[in-house]
Amino acid sequence: MFAYRITGKLFLPAALAALLNVSVAANVTESAFIGAFDVGPQGNAQKFNPLTAPAGFSFYNKYFSTLTLYDAGFQKISGDLAESWSFAKDGKSFTIKLRKDVKWHDGQPFTANDVKFTLGLIKDPDMASLFAVRLGDVVSIKATDEHTVVLELANMDASIPDALTSIMMLPQHLLAKYTTKELRTSDWWKNPVGTGPYKWTKYLPDQYVELSANPDYFRGKPKIAKLVNRYYKDSSAAAIALAAGEIQYTYLTLDQVKENQSSHAFNVISGPSQVLNYIGINNNDPRFKDVRIRQAILMAIDRGAIIKNLYGGNAQPGQCALTLPKFVPADINKYEASPAKAKALLDEAGWARLNKGEPLEILTYYNDQVSKDVIATMQSMLAQVGINLKPRFVDAPTFGQLVDAGKFSLVFAGAGNGPDPSTLMPLLHSAYAPPKGVNRMRVNLPELDKLFDAGQSEVNEAKRTDIYKQMCRVTNAQLPWIPLWVANRYGGFSKRAQNVIWTPAPGGGRYQDSPENWMLK
């Protein structure tokens, strides 16, 4: 299940217990929803420029708005600030019609000029925006009238509506006075003006940001007067605060969920992370050129056992680079675990001669307990077929530098997988090999490149789905990455919270969570 709506009736007796627990925190404003929005992998704590942000969208969305958003099930894109949008027949332009009833928090109307300004900022290299690459095919941005924006495209790019779900719109009337460089690190972000359901009221560094309800919000005034984003450097501290009733929401790890199974203070919402965990292979390393070796590694790992014992059944096996069920054909090779077959494949491919008994270093930026257990388990499973894995845990910047420089054999990593499959393009298309991009595994499959290009220029949903199904087949047969699983992620919500919509997603947010309807009992 993707998301739950917490309803009042179901949890009435438990809420009483929750109320007892919050008695200590009674001095907290009763009408404030306090959440640790930036704890966990979806967070981006205390970085307030959303144009340079890879994550944290759940919170940006509370005071800024985007043109488009997904539904909570990530099936369909609908409008937020945009009323409608369409591609021209020749695929050379994209027209966006805006809502007419939207005002900035300072009372000024939101117009097409704001959209033109924001998208222009993203395209400006001085902003160093992570979305620039998503708008790579946009050659010009025109505001044809007060509520219409036209993007001219060098090539059709069907993933633009998806890209727009992460781009927060900014007020031109307040920001035009800055140069892009100044704006990137400006103090304005610490007292911004948006169009979202809440207005910015206060920021105390390392403590919290406080927002207050925007009475003029275009979907109606939020029911909770204040929304507070509290900062925690340590996720276990946030989990304890949730259990103690001091906060109403935080991200939880699997361990924290297990530890708090009997908690009466909060409910746990789970959903697929949309992050595919995989073993990445340095495709330039001659030892892995033979597909049989990659297959052997996958078959040596008993994914079913790992999912059952380490993830408590809260993960789904991955069979190819894509994970959304609609892109995965039923007749795909499942690579059932079989150490005997794996051994035979390694022998056929001459692994012993290729590797000469060297240990294989596996690099990872994950350092949570579950990932450590997973790597240790894979280590012992691979040892049975004669592969000696040597784990190395590093932080993200170190990982980036080592992998960009090609100084690695294997990695254990995760890739945000969709909802639009074109998000995988920079990770798997040969044109994006470092230093140009983040195809850090140096995947170079011309067949795959062609499918990415075709998928991007196809507007017809059914045809697009077929293209990505084919992509799943190719990555399943060739195994440029060794797909493992998509694990669930968890959010804990106080039983006082009602009408809350939440689901884990890479980077958080990007879906219609309607905070204006959230309530506190």
112: enclosing H helix or E strand: helix 112-123
- Within residues 327-366, the interface with another protein by CB under 8 A covers 365
Nearest by Cα to 324 from 465, 185, 475: 465
> Please, what is the minimum distance in Å from the beta carbon of residue 185 to another protein?
3
Exactly one of 396, 431, 459, 477 binds another protein (CB under 8 A); that residue is: 396
Instruction: Tell me whether residue 54 or residue 329 sits nearer to another protein (CB atom).
Output: 54
Query: What is the per-residue binding string for another protein in 240-279, x denoting contact by CB under 8 A?
Result: xx-xx-x---------------------------------
- Within residues 25-54, the interface with another protein by CB under 8 A covers 25, 27-29, 32, 34, 46-49, 52, 54
Residue 166 is given by DSSP the state: G
CB 140 within 8 A of CB 154: no
Quickly tell me which residue has 């011309």 as its tokens. 446
Helix ranges, 127-271 (H): 160-163, 172-175, 180-184, 235-243, 254-259
104 binds another protein (CB under 8 A): no
* Euclidean distance between CA atoms 276 and 483, whole angstroms: 7
Nearest by Cα to 434 from 395, 404, 393, 413: 404
402 binds another protein (CB under 8 A): yes
209: enclosing H helix or E strand: strand 208-213
CB 210 within 8 A of CB 226: yes
# residues near another protein by CB under 8 A: 73
Q: Which stretch binds another protein (CB under 8 A): 198-206, 321-329, 352-360, 376-384?
A: 198-206
Per this entry, what is the length of the chain?
Answer: 521
Per DSSP, the three-state class of 268 is strand
189 binds another protein (CB under 8 A): yes
* Euclidean distance between CA atoms 41 and 58, whole angstroms: 12
Instruction: Tell me whether residue 13 or residue 397 sits nearer to another protein (CB atom).
Output: 397
228 binds another protein (CB under 8 A): yes
> Please, what is the minimum distance in Å from the beta carbon of residue 266 to another protein?
13
* Euclidean distance between CA atoms 362 and 484, whole angstroms: 15
5 binds another protein (CB under 8 A): no
* Euclidean distance between CA atoms 46 and 43, whole angstroms: 9
397 binds another protein (CB under 8 A): yes
232 binds another protein (CB under 8 A): yes
**Which tokens go with 380?**
């012992």
Instruction: Tell me whether residue 49 or residue 498 sits nearer to another protein (CB atom).
Output: 49
Exactly one of 11, 104, 266, 432 binds another protein (CB under 8 A); that residue is: 432
Exactly one of 18, 55, 298, 349 binds another protein (CB under 8 A); that residue is: 55
Exactly one of 107, 125, 286, 357 binds another protein (CB under 8 A); that residue is: 125
210 binds another protein (CB under 8 A): yes
Exactly one of 206, 215, 353, 446 binds another protein (CB under 8 A); that residue is: 206
Q: Which stretch binds another protein (CB under 8 A): 57-65, 91-99, 124-132, 138-146?
A: 124-132
Nearest by Cα to 111 from 122, 121, 119, 102: 102
**In this structure, which amino acid lies at residue 321?**
A
Rg (CA), the chain: 24
- Within residues 145-184, the interface with another protein by CB under 8 A covers 181, 184
- Within residues 71-90, the interface with another protein by CB under 8 A covers none
Helix ranges, 310-416 (H): 339-349, 351-355, 369-383, 396-404
Exactly one of 161, 197, 416, 492 binds another protein (CB under 8 A); that residue is: 416
